[in-house]
Structure 1
Amino acid sequence: MSVTPPARPEDLDFPNAITPYDRANILTYARVLDVAEGRDIIDGHDWREASIIILGCDPDKDEPAARRCWDAHVARARWITTEGLPLFIAGDGGR
């Protein structure tokens, strides 16, 4: 079974509001956070392997870009599970 990575926004500087991208990729954030926090739900992969599997970013082709993408998604996942959670549940996008 192949996994299609999510389409990523060009600008990885996410706003302090829930976006359509966030809603479409909430499971992606959960997977990224599991790897980042050592829960390793994808067979103990490190960020490099997980970035390929989850985000479609290949560190072997462009490590700085893949790392930026990975770090942005980890940060976003952490924001959503803390500050963004009430906005996500409310469904108002923070507006």
Structure 2
Amino acid sequence: MRKPPLDPDVADAAPTDQALTVYDEEHVVTYTRLLQAESEGADWREVARIVLHIDPEREPDRARNAYLSHLKRAKWATEQGRFLRGAGSN
């Protein structure tokens, strides 16, 4: 895996593929930040604004959906070390 960008923009929804995607590789830092924020009890609106670059005041549904889908993907991607095994792993 090549070095991921530090603060990339995100899609409205994270991938749902059963294998890691290029998008996942590019958003490993985003996923890490989401997981850390959740573990610290951060408000999802603050996380959406800072990490996902979506204003939850202007776009509450989009922000919430993006937050939930990316957090779910982050959890999936870290289960059993998927990022450690690399793209294409099941």
Shorter-chain TM-score bucket reads 0.7 to 0.9
In the alignment, what sits opposite 1:91?
Answer: 86
Equivalent residues of 2:14, 2:73 under 8 A apart = no
Gaps of 5+ in 1: none
Within the alignment, does 1:47 sit opposite 2:39 as a pair? no
**The one of 1, 13, 18 aligned to 1:16:** 18
**The one of 64, 67, 70 aligned to 1:70:** 67
Higher radius of gyration, 1 or 2 = 1
Q: Give 2:37's aligned amino acid.
A: V
How many pairs were matched up? 85
Equivalent residues of 1:32, 1:74 under 8 A apart = yes
TM-score (ref. length: structure 2): 0.77
Paired with 2:47 and 2:10, the residues of 1 have a C-alpha distance of: 15
Gaps of 5+ in 2: 1-5
Measured at CA, do residues 10 and 35 of structure 1 come closer, stay the same or move farther in structure 2, by a change above 3 Å?
A: closer
SS at 1:60 equivalent: coil
Paired with 1:65 and 1:52, the residues of 2 have a C-alpha distance of: 11
TM-score (ref. length: structure 1): 0.74
Identity, in percent, stands at 32
Paired with 1:34 and 1:90, the residues of 2 have a C-alpha distance of: 21
Paired with 1:22 and 1:30, the residues of 2 have a C-alpha distance of: 11
TM-superposed deviation, 1:67: 0.1
